[in-house]
Amino acid sequence: MFGQMMDRPLLISSLLRHAERQHPRREIVSITVDHPRHRYTYREAFIRIRKLANALARMGARPGDRIATLAWNDFRHFEIYYAVSCSGFVCHTINPRLFEEQLTFIVNHAEDRWLFLDPAFVPLVEKLQPTLTSVEGYVILTDDAHMPATTLANARSYESLIAAQADSFEWPEFDERTASSLCYTSGTTGDPKGVLYSHRSTILHCYAMALPDASGLSGNDVLMPVVPMFHVNAWGLPYTALMLGVKMVFPGPKMGDPPTLQSLIDEERVNFAAGVPTVWQGLVAYLDQTGKRVDSLKSVLCGGSAVPVSLSDALRDRYGADIKQAWGMTETSPIGTIFTYSPEAQRLPDAQRDSLRAKQGRCIYGVELKIVDDDGNELAHDGKSFGALKVRGPWVASSYYRRDNDDVFDQEGWFSTGDVATICPFGYMQITDRTKDVIKSGGEWISSIGLENLAVAHPAVAQAAVIAIAHSKWQERPLLVVVLKPGESVTREELLDFFSGKIARWWIPDDVAFVEKLPLTATGKLSKLQLRKRFEGYRLPTD
């Protein structure tokens, strides 16, 4: 027997309708190439969104069509998000920092019909243009006055596209499972994989992100998303903002520029910001140097990689802003866990309470987490057992776009994150490794990240990486690869001794290799894949 409640679909257009009624005066502030400080209200934004919807309809877009963006965070990108998804098309945000071959693969795999791009990316896209097989036209995110000369086909300025359009538009109603946006994740191997979000998943994620023990954002906050809008929809914040009526501040191409971030925070009274740790490390360094302040800032949502406790301390102790560490992935929309104190954690002794901040937080309602061993058996939440992290929920991907049978989606409906984690008795999850990097020694797991963190604490070590080496008795044993600091020296034995007493005896690496530098990926991360290739066939002294 069904309940007798209204069958209202969860559509992104309902955010627009709500915000227009409830929060018309709220502001959106942006930096763009053609505006040093663009400022308008939700009401003005929504008029332009409806004009863009009319333009898209006139361009001949059909339900389900992919419309791509290559753009920084600003008001025009925000308008595209809403006009495209609410019309029933798919907003495909692309990371401009990817390799050119990846960009071509992604556009062609998605079969994007139009590409909206910032003027700064025109040279890049002109170069790619001959390889892009599906794109019918290009829209440059500026006005005619700032329009660059270009060889792009059917190129026009965004402002000229929407200028003559009517400012009324009836948003269509459709099934809430309809695709709304698309984001590719590029692993270290294989082709980029697309995650296709739905209206339903977006709205539910939005509710979850707004919970008091998640972001806790309210209509009285001023939010600056420094996480790119091509990075899992800026963690869903442009949606959450409209649900709650939050003033938004978009730094545009100045996302990595601490002086701009400081002045935006200070002048716009930003109290809530979001971005990866390196952004805040850059800002803290700038503030430390200049003596400038960000006194309005109270909360910083931070994820994408583990947040160093030293960064949390610096922001809290010197600048009065609390970091909310969070964990998620493109496949999880992204919110999986977020750090806030539970009442039980609040009551812990200071040192123990403080140490929890190294963890990625607790999972919020809607997300289910489990850690499992090699046989899929669930492991205890004791803060020590670590296993492969699996996740399930209505905003978690069930498959990749136009790919079949990826084994990360298991039979029981869980997604294998590729992370290895512990979960403590208070529910706090901590990533300890990537599945492919963990060392499996005699049926037990050794965390490569745990060993690396110890190794870099040695005064002579600049960088460290630990990889698994095949072993005839133990299957795998750890090899420590180090880069020494200039002018420093240390022996193999001294380094291995350094681990004694700090970890279980059987975790201590079997050997040390000294190298000049470690291989990096295109995005500047350590490439363990290349490192493993380099040490393929390496024979450990213990074997």
Site for a second copy in 8-67 (CB under 8 A): 8, 10, 14-15, 17-18, 21-23, 25-26, 63-64
Instruction: Assess whether 20 carries a catalytic annotation.
Output: no
Task: Give the span between the Cα atoms of 31 and 72, in whole angstroms.
Answer: 10
CB 260 within 8 A of CB 39: no
Nearest to residue 329, comparing CAs of 193, 211, 223, 467?
Answer: 193
- Pick 31 or 242: Cβ nearer a second copy: 242
Q: Chain centroid to CA 11: how far?
A: 23
Question: Which residue of the set 111, 440, 485, 521 is catalytic?
Answer: 440
Task: For residue 439, give both structure tokens.
Answer: 């060392």
- Pick 78 or 197: Cβ nearer a second copy: 197
Does the footprint of a second copy cover residue 195 (CB under 8 A)? yes
Which residues does residue 338 pair with via DSSP β-bridges, in sequence order?
326, 362
Question: Which residue of the set 79, 268, 331, 476 is catalytic?
Answer: 331
CB 180 within 8 A of CB 197: yes
Does the footprint of a second copy cover residue 298 (CB under 8 A)? no
Does the footprint of a second copy cover residue 170 (CB under 8 A)? no
Phi/psi region, residue 259 (left: phi>0; alpha: psi -120 to 50; beta: rest), is alpha
- Answer for which of 130, 149, 170, 212 binds a second copy (CB under 8 A) is 212
Number of residues that bind a second copy (CB under 8 A): 75
Task: Give the span between the Cα atoms of 519 and 525, in whole angstroms.
Answer: 9
Is the C-alpha dihedral spanning 16, 17, 18, 23 positive or negative?
positive
Task: Give the span between the Cα atoms of 77 and 87, in whole angstroms.
Answer: 15
CB 201 within 8 A of CB 395: yes
The CA distances from residue 246 to 206, 238, 242, 267, 389, in Å, are: 13, 9, 7, 16, 33
Question: Which residue of the set 41, 104, 185, 435 is catalytic?
Answer: 185
Does the footprint of a second copy cover residue 3 (CB under 8 A)? yes
Nearest to residue 102, comparing CAs of 522, 529, 528?
Answer: 522
Near a second copy in 230-259, by CB under 8 A: 243-245, 247
Task: Give the span between the Cα atoms of 414 and 543, in whole angstroms.
Answer: 38
What is the total residue count of the chain? 543
- Pick 245 or 303: Cβ nearer a second copy: 245
Shortest Cβ 138–a second copy spacing (Å): 23
- Answer for which of 105, 286, 341, 514 binds a second copy (CB under 8 A) is 341
Task: Give the span between the Cα atoms of 430 and 364, in whole angstroms.
Answer: 15
- Pick 137 or 394: Cβ nearer a second copy: 394
Instruction: Assess whether 331 carries a catalytic annotation.
Output: yes
Task: Give the span between the Cα atoms of 218 and 292, in whole angstroms.
Answer: 27
Instruction: Specify the stretch interacting with a second copy by CB under 8 A; choose among 149-157, 217-225, 278-286, 483-491.
Output: 217-225
Residue 118 neighbours by CB under 8 Å, 6+ apart: 33, 70, 71, 72, 96, 140, 141, 142, 253
Instruction: Assess whether 507 carries a catalytic annotation.
Output: no
Shortest Cβ 85–a second copy spacing (Å): 11
Nearest to residue 429, comparing CAs of 337, 331, 353?
Answer: 337
Instruction: Specify the stretch interacting with a second copy by CB under 8 A; choose among 42-50, 91-99, 320-328, 361-369.
Output: 361-369
Shortest Cβ 11–a second copy spacing (Å): 11
- Pick 129 or 399: Cβ nearer a second copy: 399
- Pick 3 or 459: Cβ nearer a second copy: 3
Tell me the pairing of strands 368-372 and 387-392: antiparallel
Shortest Cβ 394–a second copy spacing (Å): 4
Near a second copy in 422-451, by CB under 8 A: 427
Tell me the pairing of strands 362-363 and 66-70: unpaired
Question: Which residue of the set 445, 474, 476, 528 is catalytic?
Answer: 445
- Answer for which of 154, 218, 453, 523 binds a second copy (CB under 8 A) is 218
Near a second copy in 378-417, by CB under 8 A: 381, 392-401, 413, 415
Instruction: Specify the stretch interacting with a second copy by CB under 8 A; choose among 43-51, 71-79, 211-219, 290-298.
Output: 211-219
Shortest Cβ 76–a second copy spacing (Å): 24
- Answer for which of 346, 352, 377, 489 binds a second copy (CB under 8 A) is 346
Does the footprint of a second copy cover residue 208 (CB under 8 A)? yes
Per-residue binder mask for a second copy (CB under 8 A), 75-114, x = binder: ---------------x------------------------
Instruction: Specify the stretch interacting with a second copy by CB under 8 A; choose among 149-157, 162-170, 195-203, 351-359.
Output: 195-203
Tell me the pairing of strands 362-363 and 335-338: antiparallel
Task: Give the span between the Cα atoms of 115 and 132, in whole angstroms.
Answer: 10
- Pick 1 or 351: Cβ nearer a second copy: 1
- Pick 234 or 242: Cβ nearer a second copy: 242
Half-sphere exposure of 339 (CA within 13 A, CB side): 26
Instruction: Specify the stretch interacting with a second copy by CB under 8 A; choose among 119-127, 343-351, 469-477, 505-513.
Output: 343-351
Does the footprint of a second copy cover residue 453 (CB under 8 A)? no
Q: Chain centroid to CA 224: how far?
A: 15
- Pick 22 or 150: Cβ nearer a second copy: 22
Shortest Cβ 513–a second copy spacing (Å): 42
- Answer for which of 5, 145, 149, 504 binds a second copy (CB under 8 A) is 5
Instruction: Assess whether 327 carries a catalytic annotation.
Output: no
Helix (H) / strand (E) containing 158? helix 158-163
The CA distances from residue 248 to 41, 269, 276, 529, in Å, are: 10, 11, 18, 40
**Residues taking part in catalysis:** 185, 331, 440, 445
